[in-house]
Structure 1
Amino acid sequence: MASNPAGKCCTVGVKHEGTAKGEIKKIGDVRTYFSYPEDKSTQNAVLILTDVIGLDFINAQLIADQFAANGYFAVMPDLFFGNPVPMNPPEGFEIMKWIETDMPKTDKVDPVVEATIKEMRGPLGVQKIGAVGYCFGGKYVCRHLKKGKIEAGYTAHPSFVDAEELEGIEGPLSISAAETDQIFPAPKRHESEAILNKLDVPWQINLFSDVVHGFAVRSDISKPREKFAKEAAFLQAVHWFDEHVKSS
């Protein structure tokens, strides 16, 4: 494994304030959040693959809107078929039981990602795609970072990534990591570095102090160091795509 499976830390955090500017429509039968840049262009796009809190989480929608504000058509499918994990779940909720019984497995998630990419490159008129994966979504960025599908990938605090999936990427990959993260701890980060160093693709790993797993989505932005790390991780993704998607 290049990262560990999800745990309780994947379900806790702070809900952010704001009003989503995008809209929810469908690609096939899958609810999908769309957020358009000011000029409504769909040429350059970002496919956002969420953490286990899912599509309807305001933090995820605000992130999609931020990508749109930076000139990218943002597309975010529901990977959990309407059954995500509630943030800060009530006492008694068992994340491991949810993983075993309710979490969609690869044979369910891969077709959603494939269908979304097909729709983006077809009817939606997208020419170049950068893929973003937070926690759970990081696995699927790696799985689909292939020539002809996705131009570049970015993931923050990834989970469930197999070493073979990371070894199989065919495009540039950027990673944001937390100082304290039992899902993507230092040994897994170093393992990932060793794997990436053997590949003939550009790669980047940025490590942020004073934050924990989930910081790029669920940080307490009332705390200056967490706010800085969240914003810097987002800009890391934008700069990566500006280099490897817009200018590729």
Structure 2
Amino acid sequence: MADADVATRSPESDAQENVIPGDTPAQTGPTMGEHCTSDRPTPAGLAPKGELRKLGGVDVYLTKPESYPSNPSKLLLLLSSGTGIKSTNNQIQADKFAEEGFVVVMPDLFGGNPAPNSSLVPDAETGTSFLDRIKLKAAELAKSLVIDEWLARHTEEKVMPILEKVIDTCKSEFADAVGNGGGIYAVGYCFGGRYVLLLASERGQVQRGWSGFQKPADEEAGEGAGPVKKGPYIKAGALAHATLVSPDDFQGLKVPVSLVCVESDPMFPDDVRETGEDIMSKESVEHEVQVYPGVPHGFAVVGDYDDANIKDAQITAYEQILRWIKEH
């Protein structure tokens, strides 16, 4: 295979070719692609402009327009892939929105524990012998197990309280930006994409304490321990090549959402997307869905590709998201 082919292939295409016989998505469960755990090369000449700091006790990457606070801005949450807030590419992606007039807060969704870079798991050299093929498949299985273990530590029950803390603090520290935008906007990539849907919805939840245990009824000020309505937390949202999304995540949506999707994406299957579109249409949720053919999962995040089609799609996807949040 030519070097150019390797540079422009989706990481998931390698995994699909090396699936152990008998494995299926139903057997292995939801997981993430390699893009969600490692970055593409950073384009030459680009470097982050923001800062790492605490916000509501949560580590965040904060980047602002050069003219802020002299000129009015809006508040945008950027929810990253598993590579987290210290990823140079994620930081540059946040800076791009700051250049368009947004105060951008990218919270650490993982409590200082970003996804393990699966490329650091030793790979077997590709060869033609039966032993080499067994070694390669064993290495792929090891990668999958490492990611699955990490996902088990970063569930909705852990991530949503982090987002609630950040949102509450933003409403006070950046009240001008929140007020100027009439609310908070959110953009999510890969792992973060699903949480845009959750922030955009109104859901009935059992009242629980921070520990996750249900509170006794007498602690609920007479409200009991039954379902309570929470959300939506944002005014509008956009998500690109989300992972770990289920049809249920489209239930209860209350604000406009834009979806950047990859054609035949194993991380966000067509049937899940189509079911989501049906739900949004039936519930009269303002939405748009653009499916990009011939691009890998993760293409919309800043990163260098040799393929001109992927480069162009990356620009178009950013323009789609930017237009959506500016129009809403």
* TM-score > 0.5 by shorter chain: yes
Aligned to 1:51: 81
Letter in 1 for 2:94: A
Instruction: Work out which of the residue numbers 175, 180, 194 in structure 2 matches 1:139.
Output: 194
Aligned to 1:25: 53
In 2 relative to 1, CA 113–177 (structure 1 residues): closer, same or farther, beyond 3 Å? same
> How many Å apart are 1:228 and its aligned residue?
1.0
Aligned to 1:113: 163
Instruction: Work out which of the residue numbers 127, 130, 149 in structure 2 matches 1:100.
Output: 149
SS in 1 for 2:186: strand
8 Å CA contact 2:80–2:192 kept in 1: the answer is yes
**2:100 is aligned with 1:70:** yes
Distance 1:53 1:234 in 2: 19
Aligned to 1:189: 273
Letter in 2 for 1:120: C
Which stretch shows the higher mean deviation, 138-147 or 61-70? 138-147
> How many Å apart are 1:99 and its aligned residue?
2.9
Rg larger in 1 or in 2? Answer: 2
5+ residue gaps, structure 1, are none
**2:172 is aligned with 1:122:** yes
SS in 2 for 1:205: strand
SS in 1 for 2:82: coil
SS in 2 for 1:54: coil
Letter in 1 for 2:172: G
Letter in 1 for 2:47: T
Aligned to 1:214: 298
- The Cα offsets for residues 206-244 of structure 1, whole Å up to 9 and x where unpaired, read as 111211111111654332111111111111111001111
Q: Percent identity, please.
A: 34
**2:250 is aligned with 1:166:** yes
Distance 1:240 1:145 in 2: 14
Which stretch shows the higher mean deviation, 39-48 or 176-185? 39-48
Normalising by structure 2, report the TM-score: 0.68
Letter in 1 for 2:32: G
8 Å CA contact 1:7–1:96 kept in 2: the answer is no
In 2 relative to 1, CA 58–151 (structure 1 residues): closer, same or farther, beyond 3 Å? same
SS in 2 for 1:119: helix
Distance 2:263 2:249 in 1: 23
Aligned to 1:225: 309
Distance 1:164 1:191 in 2: 9
SS in 2 for 1:114: helix
> How many Å apart are 1:148 and its aligned residue?
5.8
**2:226 is aligned with 1:176:** no
In 2 relative to 1, CA 225–206 (structure 1 residues): closer, same or farther, beyond 3 Å? same
**2:30 is aligned with 1:5:** yes
Distance 2:281 2:57 in 1: 40
How large is the RMSD of aligned CA atoms in angstroms?
Answer: 2.0
In 2 relative to 1, CA 50–132 (structure 1 residues): closer, same or farther, beyond 3 Å? same
Q: How many residues align?
A: 241
Distance 1:95 1:33 in 2: 28
Which stretch shows the higher mean deviation, 126-135 or 143-152? 143-152
SS in 2 for 1:212: coil
Aligned to 1:154: 238
Distance 1:218 1:239 in 2: 18
Instruction: Work out which of the residue numbers 68, 79, 101 in structure 1 matches 2:109.
Output: 79
Letter in 2 for 1:14: R
8 Å CA contact 2:118–2:143 kept in 1: the answer is no
Distance 1:219 1:19 in 2: 12
**Which structure has more RCO (C-alpha within 8 Å, separation ≥ 6)?**
1
Which stretch shows the higher mean deviation, 62-71 or 103-112? 103-112
SS in 1 for 2:272: helix
Letter in 1 for 2:280: L
